[in-house]
Structure 1
Amino acid sequence: MKTTSFPVIPYGRQNISEKDIHAVLEVLHSDYLTQGPKVPEFEKKMTAFCGASHAVAVNSATSALHLACLALGLGPGDTLWTSPITFVASANCALYCGASVDFVDIDPKTWNLCPIKLEEKLHQAEKQNRLPKIVVPVHLCGQPCDMEAIHRLSLKYGFSIIEDAAHATGASCKKETVGNCRYSDITIFSFHPVKIITTAEGGMAMTNQKDLAEKMALLRSHGITRDENAMTQPPDGPWYYQQIDLGFNYRMTEIQAALGISQMDRLQEFIKKRQQLSQRYSQLLKDLPLTLPFCLPDYDSAWHLYIIRLQKNQISKSHREIFEALRTEGIGVNLHYIPVHTQPYYRAMGFREGQFPEAENYYKEAISLPLFPDLQEADQNRVIDALNRVLGMGQTHKT
């Protein structure tokens, strides 16, 4: 297969400044590499930004999802519902707790979990006494779900809500920042290198409920406490600690937290650049046989991803041919995501194709284009020109 002589443009990439490096070096020269002052400082910075009461920093968003489920009491006999178009962690977190998983199909315009389909499914589940304990809406690409509608349904049907905002650090809905938990019990963020800000690996759980925050903080560190008020018996001495629950080693390190604190200072800069690049994509791709991202009025996406969908009835090549041709051109496209219910592990549980048709149609058409703050216009032009060539449009970008 012919390959380009140009360097590959990745679909995502972290931005690390000298200030970030200095922040990490300061920790390396300090007395604490873990369980020091930086993690609480990072948590405080996130609560101030989001407007939530509590934050619990952990080593990944997957860990945050797991702890959130445990804090909300998810266990055997319970069910969690989420979107099929997400990374598998949004569903796996239920299985970690011994619970079951089901899915709600996506909205054909926003590609997020559809509130209308959610209401229809809840109505049927109530008749069968099979209502979910937790619903996990996923803010795909950084665009918030319709949380007001989902929250109204939670009040009627009695389920808890975990917002999977792994893509949505810095996003907002009607001027309210994602992570304030106004319409959810817990919101989780990811700080993986390709996300909006990074701690290398890392995650955060936000909540306004003190008991949930305390439970997650306890479970992230083996279920061990040194708080005398939480102990089940008087301490033997000042050295004493107790394990009062079965927890995990999900702690964030001081090194990660220091990087996160430094990255937070440029969060708005990152969001602004992603917005500008996304607007430019939308302007320069509007005449191609593509379905471009749709944003709800008064919703501000964090633009973690810029996903296009092929209008296949107007294109002679297959989805795979276009994807592979773009890769050959040095465009590091990706696909977010393969519907979770079609994965072999979930098929073995009884899920099958045809259950969630909108998600399956999305998968047959979606391609993620390169998008990150350091993406230069010249490289973005390469992406646009490559798309024109591959789609057989024979035109180049307009400046």
Structure 2
Amino acid sequence: MIREINFDGLIGPSHNYAGLSLGNLASTKNAGDVSQPRAAALQGIEKMRTNVQLGLVQGLFVPQPRPAVGWLEQLGAEYMTADHALAANAMSASAMWAANAATVSPAPDTADGRCHLTVANLRTMAHRSHEWPFTLAQLRLAFGNEEQFAVHGPVPTAFGDEGAANFMRLCEGHGREGVELFVYGVTGGPYPARQHIEASRAIARLHGLDPAKTLFIQQSEEAIAAGAFHNDVVAVANETILFAHEKAFADRDGTVERVREIFPALDYVEVPASEVSLEDAIRSYLFNAQLVSLPTGEACLIVPSECRETPSVWKWLQAHLASNGPIRKVEVVDVRQSMANGGGPACLRLRVACDPDHVDPRFLVDEAKLDALATVVSNHWPEAIDARELQSKTLVNQVRQAHAAIVEALNLGELTSS
């Protein structure tokens, strides 16, 4: 039976605030602050626990080995003697934002009836460009059943691809054929548009999608310039609901019309700019929430606590709930450490609609496994990291030991040779 699984990236022991992500306003604002990797990972684990307690199927991906010495070797550099900026790019923990891991087309949408996953190349940002080989290794382990899954390498790096953060799917049930929406950027004013339409078209071809049920939608330049570096900062979809800010798309009216033409069951929920400004939407990450279907069938929005603390956002959410609109429940989670680096609840997860019985069980979690992971994190993750001291030998050793501990705890030794 096909169910949606949310695979969260476990926040890694090298989580730090080096401010590497141009166009990500939170990342830039908090550059140089002292991070708390242990608290960050425990917050992520509690978010996963919330999903489990809501009756959702929950998975995870492990952090990447850090520092990324292989990438540095390709640049003729060694971590301890590299310049600070290069070292910071090699010590990034940004792979925790699993929404950027891959683009996923469930089996009902594809020509060969398998679930297809294409790992993202993440070529726009140096600190993320070296993530895909380890991510691909995890995908090939987790979804190794080749009768059920097809796992693709990255599209050529001439074309930027940042994964499911720029992708949405509409359907009348996760196990039914859906409509796939690829959102791309053309320009973002002072910031780069990270998702190229050529990459999105290539993925649609690789996945064998029906062109009549596949749309390519341009993200609004205004949204990118305001700090919506990915579509999932201003729009999210689940089953029949498309939840978006008024300024999310370059051609708002045309986009909604095109979607409704091929998906008449659409429930379009729009937040007007007059009620919630782009600034408030991006600061609170209202749309970088997990929009999920509960076992009862109700739509639930899992939002960061910053939504409750932003008056315009919380007012809009309460009014929507009172109106008996399509979103029936709001759940608040604390992911402040991730938010301070520019990633909300939706950034932390990759959605895969498939039969959980066909997934490697080492990548699926329940409350007992989450308890065990929390113990590993509490024992091994650094309590704090000063971004100015990333090349400390003590820190490097602690980060490496923490990674080894989590891989051992999950019995994922195959990844150490990746």
Q: What's the TM-score, normalizing by structure 1?
A: 0.26
Larger Rg: 1
Q: Larger strand proportion, structure 1 or 2?
A: 2
Q: What's the TM-score, normalizing by structure 2?
A: 0.25
